[in-house]
Amino acid sequence: MPHVTKQDKPVDAMDRHAPLLRIDDVADRLAVSRSMAHKLVGQGAIRSVRIGRAVRVRPADLDAFLADAAREG
């Protein structure tokens, strides 16, 4: 049975073990400020997970955001 996320979407086993990105990593990859990365995550434009007080982003979720932005832009 595949692992299921909070949003009830199956997660690929390889993706489940991918290292999670910190907000700093997201900002670097998007070439935006840290506050803009926080804003995108806070608005739900980039899916994230909370681990205690920490906010982390799966690489696949960042890739999905970039793919959506490329389609729109």
Q: What CATH number did the domain enclosing 53 receive?
A: 1.10.1660
- How does pLDDT run across 2-59, given as a tens digit for each residue? 444 444 555 555 566 789 999 999 999 999 999 999 999 999 999 999 999 999 999 9
pLDDT at 1: 40
Segments forming the whole domain that contains residue 34: 15-72
Strand partners, 56: 49
Tell me how crowded residue 24 is: count the other CB atoms within 10 A of its CB: 10
Report yes or no on 49 lying in a domain: yes
Report yes or no on 48 lying in a domain: yes
Confidence bin at 72 (pLDDT 50/70/90): confident
Q: What's the number of domains the chain is made of?
A: 1
The H-assigned helical ranges of 1-73 are 13-16, 23-30, 34-42, 59-72
pTM exceeds 0.85, yes or no: no
pLDDT at 73: 72
pLDDT at 12: 56
Report yes or no on 8 lying in a domain: no
